[in-house]
Every structure is written in structure tokens, then in C-alpha cells.
Amino acid sequence: MSFTFKTLARGVLVAALSAWLAGCGVNDIPAYEEAAKAAWAQVENQYQRRADLVPNLVETVRAYAAHERETLQAVVDARSRVGQVQLSPDQLSDPEAFKRFEEMQRGLTGALSRLLVVVEQYPDLKANQNFATLQAQLEGTENRISVARRDFIQAVQRYNTELRTFPGRIWAQILYADARPMQTFTSEPSTAQAPRVNFGTRP
């Protein structure tokens, strides 16, 4: 009977201690970190979706505007640079690595924007169904990038705030000494959107 009582008492104590620790936010830092990494995975997925659209987009434009070599090559080069700069979740606390990643993606955004401006000069290209489909996919992807960036910014803000404020700051010192603030985007998600192309006829 004594053994049973001690076992029961120990179980109650462990349960109470676990509940107290959970209520004090001891698990918040790893939980918020994982949420931020999951949000980052969505950012990468959407950027990769955009990069995957580029080859077909370039080839379609080339068929109608082959002499726009400089603009087309700029898009190809920007996509190549993007593919050379990968950012793992473990690098999200590295300012230089994050800056390089953001710069490469911004470069591709700019190159695509210039390409879509050039397209305005080619009515036959704008009327091409394949191009219309690609442009619609690109626009949809840019919107998804914007949403994914916003979600990532919010997740990182929550994680970083937990590291700096009580009681998260205490738990970081005691249990999560290797936890570091994550980097985030320096511009608003809306700046990543490509310009809309009007497929209608001009007045």
C-alpha cells in the first residue's frame, strides 16, 4: 500500500511539475523556432515555383521577341544566381547569408519585371495563350510569395520576441543557450510582386 501511495504521489508531482513548466512557456522557444522554420520552407517553395516558370517563360518570349536578347539573358542569369544561393533553416540566424539570398531573389524579381514591361511592345506575344497562362501562373506565384513572406515575418517576430522577453529570455539562458534571433526580410512582401500586365488592347 505504501509503495502504491508513493508511486501515485510521485506521478501526481511529475504531472503537476510538467503542467507548471508548460504554463511557464518552457517549450515556447523550440515551438516558435519550428514554426518559423516551417514558414521559411513555404517561402522557399514559392520562390522555387517561380524559378521553375522562368525557362518556359523565356522561351515563349524569345519566339516572338528574339532580338530582346539582353533582357532575356538578364532573366536567365538572375535565375542561375538564385539557384546558386540556398539558405537552410540553420542559416536563418546568419545576417550575411540571409542578405545574399534576399539580394538574389530581388535580382530575379527585377529582371522579370523588366521582361514583362518589354512584353507590352508585342501584341502578338500578349495574345499567345501559352504566354497568357505562364504570366497568370507567375502572377499567382508572386502573390503566394507575398503571403509566404508575410507569414515568415510574423513567425520570426514571435520567435525573436520570445528570446528577448520574460520568461523566454530566462528559458533561453537555462535550456536553449544556442538559440539565436532569426533574420527576416528588409522590405514589405508587396515589393516582391511583379507588375501586372494588361492583356487587353490599348485604347
Q: What is the mean pLDDT of each run of 10 residues along the chain (203 residues)?
A: 55 45 77 98 98 97 95 98 95 97 97 96 95 97 97 98 94 94 77 42 36
pLDDT at 9: 52
pLDDT at 30: 97
- Closest to 153 (Cα-Cα) out of 196, 192, 179: 192
pLDDT at 17: 44
Which residue has 499567345 as its cell numbers? 128
pTM: 0.82
pLDDT at 195: 45
pLDDT at 201: 37
* Measured CA distances, 182 to 68, 83, 142, 193 (Å): 41, 22, 23, 24
HSE (CB half, 13 Å, CA atoms) of 73?
5
Burial 49-81 (b: 16+ CB within 10 A, else e): bbbebbeebbebbeebbeebeebbebbeebbee
pLDDT at 188: 53
Structural domains present in the chain: 29-192 (1.20.1440.20)
CA dist 111 and 76 (Å) reads: 9
Q: Would you say 168 and 25 are in contact if contact means Cβ atoms under 8 Å apart?
A: yes
pLDDT at 10: 56
pLDDT at 23: 52
